[in-house]
Structures are given as C-alpha cells and as structure tokens.
Chain A
Amino acid sequence: MKYLDEYRDAAATAAIADQIRREVTRPHVVMEVCGGQTHAILRYGLDRMLPPEVELVHGPGCPVCVTALETIDRAHAIAQRPGVIFTSFGDMLRVPGSHGDLLGLRARGADVRIVYSPLDAVELARAHRDRPVVFFGIGFETTAPANAMALIAARRGGVANFSMLASHVLVPPAIASILQSRDNRVGAFLGPGHVCAITGARAYASLVARYRVPIAITGFEPVDLLRGVLAVVRQLEAGRAELENAYARSAPLAGNPAARAALAEVFEVVDRNWRGIGAIPKSGYRIAEAYRAHDADRIFDVGEIATREPEACISGRVLRGVAKPSECPAFGRTCTPATPLGATMVSAEGACAAYYQHRRTA
C-alpha cells in the first residue's frame, strides 16, 4: 500500500539506525508519547536496533489505559440498564472495571456492540428509535473529532435516543506534567503525529520553549519512528531544543482547522483523572452544555462510584517513563494481559502489555 509499505522498508530503517549510532556520543532518554508508537517500536524491534546510549521510554498515550477505572465502571453500569444498546470501539471490550468487562456483561445479556466509527452508533440509534443507544467516547485529540461529528450528526438529525459517555484526554498537558515531575528522566519527545494532524503544532512549540526540550512530531511506521529519534538525538547532541516535524507529509503544522472547529463546538476542556497518573489540570474534554441532551453522563444517573487500584501496580511510574514494565514485580506473574492489574496492561498499546507480547523481560 502506498504511503505505508515504503515506510516499513528494512534497509531504510537500518540506515537510519546506523546514522543514529554514528552521531550519538552520550546517553539520552527519549519518550514516544503515543501507545501506537510504543506498539510499533516493540513489534519491529526498533528499541533493539538503537545504540545502547539511546533509551526509549514509553509515554501515557494509550487512551484505553488511562481511562479512569471510575469511568469504566460508569460505562458498565449504563450498559446494564434495561433496553440500552451500548456501543464502543473494540479495544474497550476487554478492559476490566471493578466487576468484570464489557464482554462479560454481554455474555450475561447486556446488548454491547462494537462499532468501527462513532457514526455507526448514530445509525444504530436511527434504526432503533425506541431504545437508548450509548457510545463510549474515549480517545485523544485524534479520535475526539470523530466523536464530535457523531454528536453533531445526532443533534442535526434529531436522533434523540443517541448519547455519548465521553471521556477524552489531551496530550500536551500530560507532557507538561511529566516534565514538571521531580523524578523526570525524559530528555526529548517523539510527538504524536496523528494527534498533531488535528491540533497542529502550536501547543508543542510552547512546550519546547517553556521546558527547553526537543520534540519531533513523529509518525507510526519504522522509518518514521527512527527518523523522529534521529531528529531529537541530533538536537540533544548539539544542545538544541526545537520543534521539528518529522511527519510533515501527514501532520501539517497548522493541523486540521475543520476538525478543531467541531471540537470547539462540541466539547469543553476540563480537569481529568488519568488512570495510573492521577488528576492533570485541563487535560480532558467533556460534552459542552449545548449538547447536554446527548450526554450519557447527565442522562444516566449512575451515582458515586468508589474504586481502588491494586497497590502492587507501578503503572503510574511506567506511564511517566520513570520505570520499565519489566521492573514491576507483578509483571508477567500476577499481572498479564489476561489478568491485568493496572492501566498499562489493559490494552495491547499499553507499555506493559506490549512488553509482555513482545517478550521484553530483561
């Protein structure tokens, strides 16, 4: 496939890795922010192609992982309401709440359905006017515009039985919180290319200026990922801190104005609790007042939900790049993808699950 296969070319990937090896003179810690990037790095073994000086640590960019347990429990409570059709992207189905997962609820009779696009959930609501259809709207800035359009379509089309349980998270405040923490080790970031395709680069330029940290906006294929690593290693070696775009073909610095307009119409920025990390100011979207008729949080009064995370789990430190999954005593023993104890094991894109799947144990 054009714009895909050539970026997986082994010779090109190796040439960039060699170049990094030629240029590096001292240790650097580089964080890729996005869980999709983490997954690709381990899948293609890019971490093993890099010279030992370049250490990749894995950021908080797995929306499934960082969705608060309380939100998952809230989703499960709504999915069990009589008559509800509960829709979600496939990757939320196996995420355990305090009492099992959506697949388990479905086995016990709840009407839980996977959709490919949030617009499919709106279509489902049109086809079942007598039943509430709820969509579980999570994701970063990449996914939020799609979810926003579902709300716009429902309102425009008068699809009153469609609602969304929305819990979006935003990348730049999470990067800022990592840089502000006292135990931060990260010296440079690979910026999340598909998030930037929507938001543009402005927030990342501010982070670079404020924290004097190199950031290279980076894609998701092996050539793209190592190209991003090369860009930040060069900067670190030269003592520079700049915003670079290593993914210019798909992530223009201006982002996507049409998508941003929809975000501004449908959502408002709120403080958000990140699973494993805790509260980060102004780091999420909730549904704005004008769309309250489609806000599942307001429609279904689920009440207070108290949750507790296992104490053994160090995913908060994993998500900030302070610890590697393999340093967790529970990793691969009591905690596996089939029996996840914490945030970073619940999704294939979480660092713990990716390490487990690709056998990075040492």
Chain B
Amino acid sequence: MCLAIPGEIVDVVERSGMRFGRVRFGGVTREVCLEYQPDSAVGDFVLVHVGFAIAKIDADEAARQWELLRELAPEGEEL
C-alpha cells in the first residue's frame, strides 16, 4: 500500500490552482500532483505514491550511502 516509485519530472504545469507535472518512470510517463513538492523542478527525481510526489530524491545522500556500502564489498568486487 505504501508503494512509491522513483521517477523524473519532465514538465510542470498549473491546473485548477494546483501544481502538476509529468513524471517519467522508465518508458512510462504519468501525470503527478506536485502540491507536496512545491520546490521541485524539471529534472528532479521524485518518489510517487498514488499520483502524488511525496519526496524528492536526494542525489548526494544516495551517493553517500553507496560509499558506505562499497566499504563492505570484498576486495576487488564491484558493487
């Protein structure tokens, strides 16, 4: 039920006083309500749940987490 999928904002529009955008998930594009991501912009990756962007994905945090994980990998193995 709490499933949320990451996608990239490809455009932002205003409709009946609300902020919407088209978000691309792999090959599929869907209209998503951006009211809860007022600062989001084209090119941002957002997490989408039942048609709403609930979070913006933080690329720096993602990179930092992979750094931590790489330390776990046995010598010479690529994660």
Contact = CB atoms under 8 A, between A and B. Distances in A.
A249 B65 contact: yes
Interface residues of B, number: 40
A157 B16 contact: yes
Interface in B43-76: 45, 47, 49-52, 54-55, 57-59, 61-62, 64-65, 69, 72-74
Given A11-B79, A258-B37, A143 B50 contact: yes
A139 B51 CA distance: 14
Contact of A15 (B16, B65, B72): B72
A248 B52 contact: no
B79 A89 contact: no
Given A1-B26, A15-B69, A252 B58 contact: yes
A11 B8 contact: no
A12 B5 CA distance: 20
Interface string A73-91: 0000000000000000101
B4 to A, nearest CB: 5
B19 to A, nearest CB: 10
Given A9-B79, A16-B69, A252-B58, A139 B26 contact: no
A220 B26 CA distance: 18
B17 to A, nearest CB: 7
A117 B50 contact: yes
A195 B2 CA distance: 8
A15 B74 CA distance: 8
A9 B66 CA distance: 12
A112 to B, nearest CB: 18
A35 to B, nearest CB: 6
B65 to A, nearest CB: 6
Contacts of A262: 35-36
B77 A11 contact: yes
A36 B51 contact: no
Interface string B1-44: 11111111000000011100000011000000101111000000
Interface residues of A, number: 55
Contacts, number: 140
B77 A194 contact: no
Given A1-B25, A35-B2, A146 B65 contact: no
Interface in A43-67: 61-64
Chain B CB within 10 Å, residue with most, of A139, A146, A246: A146
A146 B1 CA distance: 13
A149 B35 contact: yes
Nearest to A37: B2
A146 B50 contact: yes
B49 A146 contact: yes
B51 A146 contact: yes
B51 A194 contact: no
Contact of B2 (A2, A12, A36, A116): A36
A198 B54 contact: yes
B62 to A, nearest CB: 4
A197 interface: yes
Given A64-B1, A143-B1, A249 B58 contact: yes
A248 B73 CA distance: 21
A349 to B, nearest CB: 6
A34 interface: yes
A149 B74 CA distance: 48
A120 B72 CA distance: 45
Nearest to B52: A146
A102 B20 CA distance: 31
B36 A142 contact: no
Contacts of B73: 11-12, 15
Nearest to A149: B35
B79 A63 contact: no
Nearest to A92: B1
14 contacts: A11-B78, A18-B72, A35-B2, A117-B51, A120-B51, A140-B2, A194-B47, A197-B54, A220-B3, A248-B64, A252-B58, A256-B54, A256-B55, A349-B1
